Amino acid sequence: MRFDWSKLGPPSMPEAWDYPTRFDVLVEYDGPQLALVEHSMGRSLALFADFLPDRVRWIFSATSILELEALASGGVAMRGVFSRKDNLRIVDLGARNKPLAVWSVEPGDIPQKILPVRGAPLPAFAREPLLKKLKVRTSFNPAERRIRFAGGPVHEHTIEFAALARLSQWIQNLWTAIGEALGIHEIRERDGMPSTALMAAANGPGSFSIDVRAANEKVFDLVAQRYDTLVGLAFDDLEKLSAELSQHPELAKTFRSYLGVLEELRAEAFVETPGARIYIGCQGVNGAREVLKPSKRASTPRNDNETPETSTDLVIRGYFDVFGVAPPSFKFVDIDTGDLVQGSVAQSLVDRISGRKEQEAAVGRMTRYRITVERGPDDDVLKGFEALGQGNFPFD
């Protein structure tokens, strides 16, 4: 045993796992180090962690075909497949890869020396074999530009229109905001379009794919480089991300909303350009969204002669993620911005519905509400809500 695992505690889910149906070693140095595993809980990338007397300990990270393609082409580093996730599994395998114990952990619980070096890509010798194992034949021309989506809203090679509209809208919004931050938002092409404008071309194979025709290819690549930086900071250095965007509040707001849309739709995006491969998934984005959340307090000190800060009422459309009167609290997803609004419930509202279960708000994306929130300097207070309708609203 090379590391101290005393903080793990008892296994959390050993009964849910069975023998892996597939265990393909991708990287081997003095024994297997990285493997593609298919098992009863899905598909994972497995990283060797430690030897124990009667077993081998692995770190399992649930993964997707698109993320593995990104790994094979350098769009995400090996460490990123593990460190960018909300949760991981520590799995002990015995003889013939029999699962002996499983723990659910967060990336921060893993000894950091186990994870691959920051920025290290999948070794070149392992890339082509990985693509063959995935049975993926990419037709991407390195001289072209492409954005690909996978995850929740993508089914085989199709995507629901509403989800495509939202994802493409926010990528365009983000591209425009980055262009403004770079001082190139007023540049126009000969046909009058802004230089940051993106246009969809023919679909490609694999996950839902859009071949991008940029109004200005050099501007597209410049924006993509900044996008690459922001995505990297969102997972590796939140303090630097906050500093990077402190002078560009509109870009910070747009990037935060983009991350929110990815999380809500459980979607992934993979931007490919001649000079960069940039993958981002839907997990692990809460830290960046929290860092970029606008402060409710005034940023400048107030002197004694100034009028005290007052609260304001906001009317928001969306759905409840959490609603309760004991204790009185709520979380509400604004479907127009992707923001999560949360706080306490006004006592007058609690008194009105307390003990009347039928008057409480339903939780979940299938019931839409219009709520009134008192936004104060320290807390958001839910004052009332009105049902807008119920039905199948998966993406809007």
What are the structure tokens assigned to 377, written together?
A: 């300097």
Decide: helix, strand or coil at residue 124: helix
Percent of the chain with pLDDT over 70: 85
When mean pLDDT is compared across 62-76, 216-230, 307-321, the lowest value belongs to 307-321
Higher pLDDT, 209 or 137: 209
What are the structure tokens assigned to 79, written together?
A: 């460490």
What are the structure tokens assigned to 325, written together?
A: 């009167």
CB atoms within 10 A of CB 76: 27
Rounded mean pLDDT of 121-125? 93
> Could you give the domains of the chain?
14-133 (no CATH), 139-291 (no CATH), 312-390 (2.40.50.140)
Edge-to-edge, what's the strand order for the sheet holding 209-214? Answer: 198-204, 209-214, 146-151, 267-272, 277-280
pTM of the model: 0.67
Q: Which of 63, 33, 36 is nearest to 47 (CA)?
A: 33
Question: Please, are residues 58 and 47 in contact by the beta-carbon 8 Å criterion?
Answer: yes
